[in-house]
Structure 1
Amino acid sequence: MYADGLGIRPVLREMARELAGHGYYVLVPNLFYRHGPAPVIELPDRLGEEVRPAVFARLMPLIEAHTAERVLSDADAYLRFLTAQPEVSAGPVAVTGYCIGGLAAVRTAAAHPGQVAALASFHGPVGADGPDSLSKLTAEVHFGHAESDLTPEALDELNQVLDAAGVGYTSEIYPGTVHGFTMSDTDAFSASGLKRHWDRLLPLLGRALANG
């Protein structure tokens, strides 16, 4: 489970516990471990518009330093760790991510087609690496987009790329949502968006990891 740009904090731990409660071993890596333990900067209890600019002024250099090369190097290590844990079943894994974590999830799945069986990204820039990256996917995919992040026309273009690549997927705009809608500690939070996220994510994992 790749965090959004705010990193590991109570809301991510809550979401990981929710997922673990369904029988999954959940790893939530600190994307910014090169800069220190999580949280790498002091975060407010709630991210409102009045504090967002100052918080992201400090976070953006860390986000920009987390290059595609670093994402892939780290993903290799995370997958090695998971396969070495006695509690983890043999078989495929799933990756899910939020915001920039959604892009990290796409990159991980594309780089490990034989190991990653399910990919989910929520309000993430999933097409940022271009069509070639999406064409490498073999996992079953769900993309949940914020209404403020993607126009219907852009959604059609993205889905055409997935169709052309032969990817099994669902890709939809969540009505009435803005970027960050899954995160209950931000002003972007949408209770209906978060519920829809679980309604899409859990069946996906159930199908893809059933033989794990």
Structure 2
Amino acid sequence: MKTDLKIQAADGTAAAHFFAPSDPARRAAAGVILYMDAFGLRPALDGMANRLADAGYFVLVPDLFYRSIPYGPFDTSAFGNEDSRKAIMTLLGSTTQAMTAADSGAFIEALRANGASGRIGTVGYCFGGGRALAAAGTYPDAIAAAASLHGGNIASEAPDSPHRLAASIKARVYVGNAGVDQSFPPEQSARLATALREGGVDHVIENYVGMNHGWTVPDNLSFDAAGAERHWKRLLTFFEETLG
């Protein structure tokens, strides 16, 4: 069941979609923050959150671009339009890792206030992948599992690259990357693996050969049904093992 929330975040009020498990028998008491991709809140992400809720989790999907309201709405063909592309790139560039990390404390509290009394996990798609990992490094005592799917620039040379927080992460980590992805090339995968291993993080980095960036999200132009189901199998097993 979906509920619209307003969360007092670091720099204002963030809209969020909240999903509670509909079947009390499957309710795990655990919570999951789903960090959106670059196209913002929309039905495709709601469907993904609802699938997690059906698996027993309380799920929060916050608007990471709340500082820039109004914006969009965008569909996943937006990068093919120069004006929409510029607008999205502006949003991405003006929403820093530090901003989302500061907001994530409020997101965790929102889950707690709405019934998630158990462990907390994060999962992020596209630019949200880095946010999911950075949250685990920023709130190590709160987040027990962190997953990134086709996360972009999660082990770049930038000062705020999420891999630099590896030593602080206590969560288990799962990273699923597209077979070919300019935003997460092999050198970044190797850098991330080294950081996680040196940081003592229990982790898996999986390469989805043949998949393109965005393959998991149903309305993405790169969506691949078989590849998406593979990701769901991995993700739900990962959360079940870690969150209960």
Quick one: which of 181, 194, 198 aligns to 1:164?
198
Which residues in structure 2 correspond to 1:1-212 (within 5 Å)? 1-36=34-69, 40-44=71-75, 47=77, 50-51=80-81, 53-85=82-114, 87-88=115-116, 90-124=117-151, 125-128=153-156, 129=161, 131-149=163-181, 150-152=184-186, 154-210=188-244
Cα distance per residue 1:47-84 (max 9 Å; x no partner) = 27644x44221111111111122112210111111112
Does structure 1 retain, via aligned residues, the 8 Å contact 2:36–2:128? yes
Q: CA deviation at 1:160?
A: 2.4
Cα distance per residue 1:12-54 (max 9 Å; x no partner) = 01101111111111000011112226xx30324x527644x44
Q: CA deviation at 1:156?
A: 3.4
Corresponding residue for residue 15 of structure 2:
none
More strand by share: 2
TM-score, length-normalised on structure 1? Answer: 0.88
Does structure 1 retain, via aligned residues, the 8 Å contact 2:175–2:206? yes
TM-score, length-normalised on structure 2? Answer: 0.77
Kindly report the root-mean-square deviation, in angstroms, between the aligned alpha carbons of the 2 structures. 1.8
Unpaired runs of 5+ in structure 1?
A: none
> Relative to structure 1, is the Cα distance of residues 31 and 48 closer, same or farther in structure 2, using a 3 angstrom cutoff?
closer
SS of the aligned residue for 2:100 comes to: helix
Task: Spell out structure 1 runs of 4+ moving beyond 3 A.
Answer: 48-51, 150-154
SS of the aligned residue for 1:134 comes to: helix
What code does the residue aligned with 2:145 have?
Answer: A
Unpaired runs of 5+ in structure 2?
A: 1-33
SS of the aligned residue for 1:187 comes to: coil
Find the aligned partners of 1:84 and 1:209 in 2 and give their Cα distance: 18
Find the aligned partners of 1:91 and 1:115 in 2 and give their Cα distance: 10
